[in-house]
A and B are shown apart, each in its own frame.
Chain A
Amino acid sequence: MGERKEKSEQGKQSIEKKPIATRDAYGEALHELGKKRQDIVVLDADLSGSTKTGKFAKAFPERFFNIGVSEQDLIGTAGGLSLTGKLPFASTFAVFETGRAWEQIRQTVCYSNLNVKLVATHSGITVGEDGASHQAIEDVAIMRVLPNMTVIVPADGIETKQVINAIADYNGPVYVRLGRSKVPVVMPDDYDFKIGKAHTFHLGKDANIVAMGIMVTASLEASKILKNECLDVGVINMSTVKPLDTETVLNASKICRLIVTAEEHSTISGLGGAVSEFLSETNPTRIIRIGIKDDFGCSGTSEELLKLYGLTAENIVKTIKEGLK
């Protein structure tokens, strides 16, 4: 959980293109937003250093509320603040935000369709050494199932910043899933995030990968490798998992033989689930879901864990080649 301060890196890449954790991008975006909008209030549950809401807290202490280690109270308080016309952002680790407070999110936030933004960090297995207790790999599933909820999983820092601005302008409950580790910038310079709109890098005639979060990077790599083997495999960043961009999924399914979903999440009811549910009713297509197979995570470095659970470009390549046989 704790981190030593990093020595400043001197890279060739410009500030914008440097790998950055989505949680860091969140901290910056929230701080900027706080300057512009007085109605924004931020709540955390004793993890403001890790979730990066600390930056907002420092700048606007009168609009920051640390609720302590009590996630259920965090959600309820955020709900109450929204009833007074404030725009609450509530943050903690994904496992505790969505898991511990699920019924508060269901009853208080979603049932009454409150304007509460749930932005959680430390999602997925790239949490690393803390192990299974801290690795949320079910959060998309349990947020997606809630009526009125919007679910967004940004792929990189640039997209995260756009997402935070977009959800501030949107009225209703939103869950945003962020990560702990640094991720490369993959979205193009002219990218313009819209809730519910996927970004298609390119469409492939052989297969198309529908990915979210860090798996977008791995999918782009896999597509490149497969191109050298004369397979045309497209990549779609489905950052809004709910509402799913069904038009994009349907079009992709019509031009290829195989749809692959890729997520740092359980293959049950996450992105793979959403795509499968939709296509089975509209255009039954062969689908392979890459993700964590009905299992818990464990301790290890994030690289080791990505390999162990098959969340790598290599495994996507292998899966697609087998799937197209």
Chain B
Amino acid sequence: MKSTVSEKDIAVLREKAKTLRIEILKMLTEAGSGHTGGSLSAADIVTALYFYKMRHRPDDPKWIERDRFILSKGHAAPVLYAALALSGYFDKTLLGTLRKLGSPLQGHPCSRKLPGIEISTGSLGQGLSIANGIAIGLKLDKLSSRVYCLLGDGEIQEGQVWEAAMTASHYKLDNLCAIIDNNGLQIDGHCCDVMCVEPIVNKWAAFGWHVLDINGHDMEAIVSALNEAEILKGKPTMIVARTVKGKGVSFFEGKVEYHGLAPTHEELERALKELKG
């Protein structure tokens, strides 16, 4: 399917994703701890959601007709915080308080403390069930809002994900679109070495989902996939987004050790130079 957005809009989104990456790196360096790799790999997807696809009102976070986003891989909190701040949910200066005592920007997203967070996450494998519940609730209320849920590829090793996979297709939740940040890495190494999750596409298809297999850093492909998911009726859609962990900073890319390491100040400087190019 052809994307309906202009090349100019795509260019703007790409620029936005870069800004997100810069904010992610800055807040993580300031925090001194946190998850760099999985925040960067999801930056393009989250940009497309918050700045292109989702209907939401930063000045009215509980707007009843909003689309919902569930960050099931909660450790990627920085990418969500950056998207929320740049959307205008809260002041950008708050990003500098990430992971610090008293901050609403907890190590993992906390819905009680920060506007725009639909549900607290951080324990992997729970988000898709929640997304299903919201999708069913929206249908009951005859609302046309859509639900987006971002999962990690290591995360889908959790059994609950596959329970939720059945529920979504059983209830024909076509107002649900899940996305896997398929960066090939988890904490202990490559997913294929730790606990093989392939063939991902066939698995989701076998569970009754409409599956789209895309390059998760190609903004045009992400936008088209999100649009296709919205049109498709009778099934939930899974976008398998092939990504690179640490994307955007050459010395973090594909490096398993940067799963849970924040950049040092020196690394930040080098990274910003690369990004600002």
A133 and B74 in contact, given A2-B260, A46-B194, A299-B106 (Cβ under 8 angstroms): yes
Q: Are A1 and B106 in contact (CB under 8 A)?
A: no
Question: Which A residues contact B (CB, under 8 angstroms)?
Answer: 1-4, 44, 46-50, 54, 66-70, 72-73, 95-96, 99-100, 128-134, 298-301, 304-305, 308
Inside 8 A of A298's CB, which chain B residues have their CB? 101-102, 106
Q: Which of A44, A48, A73, A129 has its CB near the most chain B CB atoms (within 10 A)?
A: A129
Inside 8 A of A131's CB, which chain B residues have their CB? 99, 106-108, 110, 122
B268 adjacent to chain A (CB < 8 Å): no
**B:103-150 near A, CB below 8 Å:** 103, 105-108, 110, 120-125
A300 and B100 in contact, given A2-B257, A131-B108 (Cβ under 8 angstroms): yes
B154 adjacent to chain A (CB < 8 Å): yes
**B:231-262 near A, CB below 8 Å:** 257-261
A70 and B158 in contact, given A100-B123, A299-B106 (Cβ under 8 angstroms): yes
Inside 8 A of B34's CB, which chain A residues have their CB? 129
B188 adjacent to chain A (CB < 8 Å): yes
The binding surface of chain B is classed by DSSP as: loop
Q: How many residues of B contact A (CB 8 A)?
A: 39
Inside 8 A of A68's CB, which chain B residues have their CB? 154, 157, 186, 191, 194-195
A70 and B74 in contact, given A46-B186, A129-B31, A129-B99 (Cβ under 8 angstroms): no
B33 adjacent to chain A (CB < 8 Å): yes
Inside 8 A of B101's CB, which chain A residues have their CB? 298-301, 304-305, 308
Please encode chain B, from 26 to 38, with 1 for each CB lying within 8 Å of some chain A CB and 0 for all others: 0000011111000
Cα A68 to Cα B100 with chains together (Å)? 30
Q: Are A133 and B259 in contact (CB under 8 A)?
A: no
Q: Are A133 and B188 in contact (CB under 8 A)?
A: no
Q: Can you list 25 residue pairs at the A/B interface with Cβ under 8 Å?
A: A2-B33, A2-B257, A2-B261, A49-B188, A66-B195, A69-B157, A69-B195, A95-B123, A96-B123, A99-B123, A100-B123, A129-B31, A129-B32, A129-B34, A129-B99, A131-B110, A131-B122, A132-B110, A132-B120, A133-B123, A134-B107, A134-B108, A300-B101, A300-B102, A308-B101
B159 adjacent to chain A (CB < 8 Å): yes
**B:27-58 near A, CB below 8 Å:** 31-35
Cα A68 to Cα B157 with chains together (Å)? 6
Q: Are A69 and B154 in contact (CB under 8 A)?
A: yes
Cα A132 to Cα B121 with chains together (Å)? 10
Distance (whole angstroms) from the CB of A46 to the closest CB of chain B: 5
Which residue in A47, A134, A308 is a CB contact (below 8 Å) of B122? A134
Cα A112 to Cα B105 with chains together (Å)? 43
Distance (whole angstroms) from the CB of A126 to the closest CB of chain B: 13
Q: Are B154 and A46 in contact (CB under 8 A)?
A: yes
A2 and B108 in contact, given A68-B194, A69-B124, A133-B122 (Cβ under 8 angstroms): no
Closest to A95 in B: B123
B187 adjacent to chain A (CB < 8 Å): yes
Inside 8 A of B181's CB, which chain A residues have their CB? none
Q: Are A69 and B123 in contact (CB under 8 A)?
A: no
Cα A95 to Cα B106 with chains together (Å)? 17
Closest to A100 in B: B123
Q: Are A69 and B33 in contact (CB under 8 A)?
A: no
Closest to A57 in B: B188
Q: Which 8 A-B pairs have the closest CB atoms?
A: A68-B195, A133-B122, A2-B260, A1-B260, A300-B101, A131-B107, A68-B157, A2-B261
Inside 8 A of B74's CB, which chain A residues have their CB? 133
Which residue in B99, B122, B194, B261 is a CB contact (below 8 Å) of A4? B261
